[in-house]
Structure 1
């Protein structure tokens, strides 16, 4: 009963704060609904960025992968901090100067409307195919393992998963559909505080248990007895995340996700000024450096405690088992509320971004060119409803036989490389044409699909023979390869058929909608984040 009370109390508190902070806001304009009226402050942006990204696919998925492999999987978090520095220093000033609502909006001005439509469609396709259903499935799986919902209600585990997917999905949809970006961002921030508290509590309590009351002794014990797990380079045979990918596909993945991905950068696009946007992005980068203690270390601790009882194929139970072993009953409900909040935050954030992309990139471009501000908001809400229903229907059908986190990253990588190539060439050059951009956006995903999915076995056999290795190449290497191929293809198409490359001169010359004075601590904080990230690899390399 106490668990249920704490669960309802924290979940209700988040909803109450979100409602109170937005009760007087009018959601009738595009800026108000999709960008929070360009009024978001640094801490709200940071909290929303953190919870938009971190969810149960990290909390359960990455800890499970650390349980089965090594802490090398923390590269997904640590290298993200470097990409966020790049966002604050290079990308965000250019976005805010142009007054962008969506990233495809830039593509429309730099290339043409066709490029914008294709990019919007690819974003939406990746969201519905990967992020939304996987986030819901992870959340439902975590709640089932913590609360034994199937046993409590006397139903099958499958029925319990379906019930929780639809329950959490419906609640998340309400935030996105009725509250807009500001309500989403505020709820993310409150949930983010709970996420950090609960996430850091689990390894602390576990290490106290191992160290007989002294967490430092517990950490020393785990490190000594499970030292191979602490190799951050991940260079064991058949590595799950080899060190080499940090210099190929990981760079492409992180720059895309943190610098140009609509569901992420939309929080910063809603900043009240450049300084608050940069501050928010860099605070979130600091939080990412805490990530390994929350979403990787517990997986290694779980391996130390339960390696003889949890089989490798049951790796998804590693983190929930650890939570149940160390968490007091009074905190179980709070922790479950934090998990639900993490799912809600990612789910409703992606829904809001999807609505923005659909309204501005497809509805206004293809369906109703004279759409009013109210029409755009209404179209966005209808899009959110449709995507939410589709995601809730698909979530329980996702294959969980392999690493779900890896599955998510593979699906995303299909689109990341080509889209990053198109956006970067648009920002860095004035010659690449719209024809080249459209070809890159179409050929790139098809090429990655053929290399990694359709003919994956044949591709890996050819790669092993070419490089003289016995292990398969990591899919991130193919992401890097596709990025390079698409970049060269676009340059070649431009050279062969130069045409006219429209540059967003009018957008660049127009006054920015917000103050563009940089954050005064930008360089200092950026340098600190880079130094700490490098220190992780220097200190933990074996």
Structure 2
């Protein structure tokens, strides 16, 4: 409770913080916002049920982080935007802004916030065996726990916020990993590591097949754009970057986040594989893998600590989501459509009422996730497809084209929602046939269609004059001098992660790693060293010169 009180004293009092955040704060805030409870439960559940292929959602996020740092962030900060819909309004029109805002609101209400509540509730259910304690079914117990956790979380989020769980959260992942290896090896941690590397090593393979939920090929199609939406346009993720005290600090924080994402497979998926080796197929649902480890491996005093940390993560994510949803509501709907002369005090009051209503709606939706056949993680990824692809397509086309009219963006949103529903659920439900490809590939195909629709609209009804963004930077626009070299290093780290969790790495069938592992690793290191030198001596200077030129010509 002292932690909550401290965070309440530090709470800024307005939905958007001032433009004074440093790179370190931005990186920590981005990671804490992203590595939430549903990630712990969902990713460990997927690793327990299949293999490491779902790590693609986290590791390849580095590509999106790089795009945000080098391409999108200079434009966001250069225009001094407060929300993403405000950026859309500047490029297209108010109608498009309203449609994008509505998509974000529906996504937060029906997908993101309920998944956060569900992940916290299922951990409580497993740890305290609530169904047996209350004499109720699993589903009935889920409803009760979600409402209790949700009410507490909403109170923290709406009336103060929880900002200080990052260190405990990291200790959670690392500590459980070490304890899991210790238990798997009967008291010998090295023996436990050897077990997961040599017994059923295919569980450590990140190169998903067509039968896995994330086939390897999808990282080059829909996943690129789904991740780019999350890291490049999702309000509650990029809100901190919009508050950077300079472009350089924003780029530092963003790129450092990419390196922290590389650690996710170790802290949020390997424990799921440990759970598989300990329990086999004995768990009632895959999403119980992480809570089962906490419940059965840790002594009671540490179980309570880890539960507190997990709930802290739930409250932190709740805080970020409700704060971002409230920010968009008051800035993009209330002040635009309802009361244009609203004061800051009134907007804060309205945002808290809206946050309360949003929380209540999510309480009724979260328990339904218990029926998700493919686990929490997959259901989140599938449903975010309704809004992530059209939004990122609109943003990218809006940035790199000058004649695409607002009607193109509006048609894109409507067509995508209808087609996506039909391709994923509609055709199987109403016509009895389905497309035998991953939903991630479908998202990639629909991204191409979205771009084509907007390009055709620009050809048929182009704007009378080329669009020009309003140039209004509030901070220093000089880029970070190591932005491009660090990008090369981050790309190398992503590739190494795939080498490690591949048939030539830890999933090698006849040993710990194959004979190709070390030559491949050394070759990668030499290549990255070469690219670092070239980028530092040449590419970085050209990038900086280009941004400065665009800044002076007011094109950012």
TM-score by length of structure 1 reads 0.88
| CA–CA separation in structure 2 for the residues paired with 1:524 and 1:112 | 37
Is the 8 Å Cα contact of residues 177 and 352 (structure 1) preserved in structure 2? yes
More moved, 475-484 vs 437-446:
437-446
- Which of 370, 377, 401 aligns to 2:341? It is 370
Cα gap change, 1:435 to 1:170, in 2 (>3 Å): same
- Which of 210, 234, 239 aligns to 2:212? It is 239
1:41 CA drift (Å): 2.9
* Aligned residue in 2 for 1:122: 103
Structure 2: which 5+ residue stretches go unaligned? 504-556
More moved, 106-115 vs 496-505:
496-505
1:138 CA drift (Å): 1.4
Give the alignment's Cα RMSD to 1 decimal: 2.1
1:173 CA drift (Å): 2.2
More moved, 163-172 vs 117-126:
163-172
Is the 8 Å Cα contact of residues 111 and 502 (structure 1) preserved in structure 2? no
| CA–CA separation in structure 2 for the residues paired with 1:343 and 1:354 | 16
- Which of 452, 461, 474 aligns to 1:488? It is 452
Is the 8 Å Cα contact of residues 42 and 278 (structure 1) preserved in structure 2? yes
1:378 CA drift (Å): 2.6
Is the 8 Å Cα contact of residues 169 and 392 (structure 1) preserved in structure 2? yes
Is the 8 Å Cα contact of residues 109 and 502 (structure 1) preserved in structure 2? no
Q: How many residues align?
A: 502
| CA–CA separation in structure 1 for the residues paired with 2:493 and 2:275 | 26
1:263 CA drift (Å): 1.4
* Aligned residue in 1 for 2:518: none
Is the 8 Å Cα contact of residues 122 and 291 (structure 2) preserved in structure 1? no
- Which of 250, 258, 262 aligns to 2:231? It is 258
* Alignment deviations for residues 282-317 of structure 1 (CA, whole Å, 9 cap, x no partner): 23222211110111111111111111533xx52222
| CA–CA separation in structure 1 for the residues paired with 2:438 and 2:38 | 20
Is the 8 Å Cα contact of residues 45 and 280 (structure 1) preserved in structure 2? yes
The reply to whether residue 530 of structure 1 matches residue 530 of structure 2 is no
Is the 8 Å Cα contact of residues 56 and 142 (structure 1) preserved in structure 2? no
The reply to whether residue 303 of structure 1 matches residue 270 of structure 2 is no
- Structural mapping, 1:14-93, within 5 Å: 14-22=3-11, 25=12, 27=13, 33-93=14-74
Is the 8 Å Cα contact of residues 87 and 281 (structure 1) preserved in structure 2? yes
* Aligned residue in 2 for 1:431: 403
| SS of 2:354 mapped into structure 1 | helix
Structure 1 or 2: more helix by fraction: 1
1:164 CA drift (Å): 2.7
| SS of 1:34 mapped into structure 2 | coil
- Which of 214, 219, 222 aligns to 1:249? It is 222
* Aligned residue in 2 for 1:355: 326
* Aligned residue in 2 for 1:136: 117
Cα gap change, 1:59 to 1:436, in 2 (>3 Å): same
* Alignment deviations for residues 379-408 of structure 1 (CA, whole Å, 9 cap, x no partner): 222211110111112212333333221111
1:229 CA drift (Å): 0.8
Is the 8 Å Cα contact of residues 109 and 504 (structure 1) preserved in structure 2? no
| CA–CA separation in structure 1 for the residues paired with 2:305 and 2:224 | 36
| SS of 1:239 mapped into structure 2 | coil
Structure 1: which 5+ residue stretches go unaligned? 1-11, 28-32, 464-471
- Which of 338, 342, 354 aligns to 2:309? It is 338
1:150 CA drift (Å): 4.3
- Structural mapping, 1:268-307, within 5 Å: 268-307=241-280
Is the 8 Å Cα contact of residues 434 and 501 (structure 1) preserved in structure 2? no
| CA–CA separation in structure 2 for the residues paired with 1:41 and 1:149 | 43
| CA–CA separation in structure 1 for the residues paired with 2:194 and 2:465 | 59
More moved, 237-246 vs 113-122:
237-246
1:197 CA drift (Å): 0.4
- Which of 199, 213, 217 aligns to 2:191? It is 217
Is the 8 Å Cα contact of residues 147 and 363 (structure 2) preserved in structure 1? yes
* Alignment deviations for residues 58-111 of structure 1 (CA, whole Å, 9 cap, x no partner): 111111111111111111110112211221222112111111110110111111
* Alignment deviations for residues 312-367 of structure 1 (CA, whole Å, 9 cap, x no partner): x5222222222223223221111001110111111121111111111111112222
